[in-house]
Amino acid sequence: MELNRVVVTGIGALTPVGNSAPEMWENLKRGVSGAGPITHFDHEKFKTHFACEVKNFNPADHMDRKLARKMDLYAQYAIAAAGEAIRDCGMDLETVDKNEIGVILGVGIGGINTFETEVSNYAKHEEDGPKYNPFFIPKMIGDIAAGQIAINYGFHGPNYITASACASSTNALADAFNLLRLGKANAILTGGAEAGIWPTGVGGFNAMHALSTRNDDPQGASRPFSASRDGFVMGEGAGCLMLETLQHALARGARIYCEVAGVGMSADAHHITASHPEGLGARLVMERALKDAGMQPEDIDYINVHGTSTPVGDISEMKAILDLFGAHAYKLNISSTKSMTGHLLGAAGAVEAMVCVLSVRDDVVPPTINHADDDCDPEIDYNLNFTFNTAQQRPIRAALSNTFGFGGHNACCIMKKYEA
C-alpha cells in the first residue's frame, strides 16, 4: 500500500510570547521571554510567584460570549489557535468536504480551573447540598476542545484527544499524520491546548519541586543547559496545525509550509516523573522518527529539544542526542524555546512542532536564552551548539522536535522542506 504524503498548510498560535503564529515567531527569534508575575490568582503564599501567561486575551475576539462562558480557558485558547490555523490554510469551508476533515488535539490536564472552582464552591456550601454548574463536566473534560472546534466548523472526520502529559500534542500530531497517510481523512486540524496556571496546578508542581523558584528574576528563570537551572517555568496557551494529504493540498492550490516526514513514539518505562538518566527512551523515540521518515541522523539540521530546564531532564536528553547522532551532533543546532515560552505542558509539542515548521521555512534557529559563560554544568558538553542567546541563520533541510511526558511518554516529529 502506497502511503499518502502529508504537508502542513496552516498554523495558529496563542502563546506567552505572541497571540498569533507570526507574533510568536518574531519574538522567539528575538529571544523574548514570556515570563512575569502570576495574574490568574493570588500567589503570595506559593513557592513560585511567576509563570508564562498568555497576555491580553479576550475570548470575545474569537467566539460568541455566551459560548465562551460555557468553556474552560484551555478550550477558549484552543478555539483561538484553531481559528487562526483554519484561516491561514486558506481552505474554502463552503466547498470542501467536511466529512473528510478531522480534529485531533493533545490535552494534558484540561479544565483544571473549572474543576478547582466547582469543588471549592461545593466545599463552601456543602451544608446546602450539591449545587454544581450544569456546564461543570462539559467545561472540565479534556476532549471538549476538539468537540467544540468540530461543532464550530462542522468537521465530521476523526475527532478526539490524546493525553500523554507533556507529550500529548506531539502524540496528537502523530495520530493525525498516520491517519492521513492511511487515507482515513483528507485534512486534520491537530495541536494542543493547556491553561493550568491556577492554584492546584502551581501548587501541585511546587510540591514536586518541579518549578523554578527564581522569583527575583522571572524572565531569567528558564535556563536550559545552564548549571543554575532549578526547574521549569509553567506556561499556557495553544497551538494548531492544519495537516493535509499532499494530493488534497495540491488539488485546492494550497500554500505548503513544509512536509511532515515522520514521527516516533516510545516509553522510558523507568519512573513516573523522572526521565531515564541515560536518555534511553529519548534516543529510541528519535531513532524511530528517523526510521519512519526514511532518514539518517545526518539529514537533521536542527533539534527543538524538550529542554525544560530541570537538572536531570536536560542532561538525559543531551546524552540521547550524542548517543544517536554521534559526530553529527556537533554539526546540529539545538535549542529550547521553552526558555522563552515556558512549558506549555500538553500544548508544548504543538507549539514546538510549529517552531520547526517555521525554522524549516525560514532557515532560522531560534535561541536558547538565559545562558551565561560562567554558568556551565560540568556534565554538559558545550561543544554542542545550543544556540545560546542569539538566533542563528543556517540552511535547515529538516528539523526534529522532542517532547517527553510524566509517565515516561516520549513523542517526536520531523518536519522537512517540501519538494514537489
166 in active site: yes
Comparing CA positions, the residue from 136, 154, 150 lying closest to residue 70 is: 136
pLDDT digits (tens, 9 = 90+) for 174-211: 999 999 999 999 999 999 999 999 999 999 999 999 99
**Sheet order of strands, 101-106 included:** 159-162, 101-106, 187-194, 237-245, 6-14, 258-267, 409-416, 398-405, 302-304, 333-335
Contacts for 315 with CB less than 8 Å, ≥ 6 apart: 277, 377, 379, 380
pLDDT number for residue 417: 98
Percent of the chain at pLDDT > 90 equals 96
Average pLDDT of the segment spanning 313-318: 96
pLDDT confidence tier of residue 23, bands split at 50, 70 and 90: very high
Q: Report the amino acid identity of residue 162.
A: T
The answer as to whether 339 is a domain residue is: yes
Number of domains in the chain: 1
Type and span of the H or E element at 112: helix 112-124
Write down the pTM of the prediction.
Answer: 0.97
pLDDT number for residue 121: 87
CA distance 380 to 317: 10
Average pLDDT of the segment spanning 81-108: 98
Catalytic residue among 52, 89, 166, 412: 166
pLDDT at 126 over 80: no
pLDDT confidence tier of residue 130, bands split at 50, 70 and 90: confident
Contacts for 285 with CB less than 8 Å, ≥ 6 apart: 264, 265, 266, 402, 410, 411, 412
Task: Write the CA distances from 266 to 76, 180, 289, 296, 397, integer angstroms.
Answer: 31, 21, 10, 19, 25
pLDDT number for residue 395: 98
Residue 398's domain is classified under what CATH number?
Answer: 3.40.47.10
The answer as to whether 370 is a domain residue is: yes
pLDDT number for residue 96: 97
The answer as to whether 84 is a domain residue is: yes
pLDDT at 61 over 80: yes
> What are the grid coordinates assigned to 394, written together?
543556517
DSSP 34-99: -EEE--SS--TTSS--EEE---S--GGGTS-HHHHHTS-HHHHHHHHHHHHHHHHHT--TTTS-GG
pLDDT at 385 over 90: yes
> The domain containing residue 245 runs over which residues?
6-416
The answer as to whether 54 is a domain residue is: yes
Catalytic residue among 343, 356, 409, 413: 343
Catalytic residue among 43, 306, 371, 409: 306
The answer as to whether 1 is a domain residue is: no
306 in active site: yes
Chain mean pLDDT for the chain: 97
The answer as to whether 284 is a domain residue is: yes
pLDDT number for residue 123: 86
pLDDT at 129 over 90: no
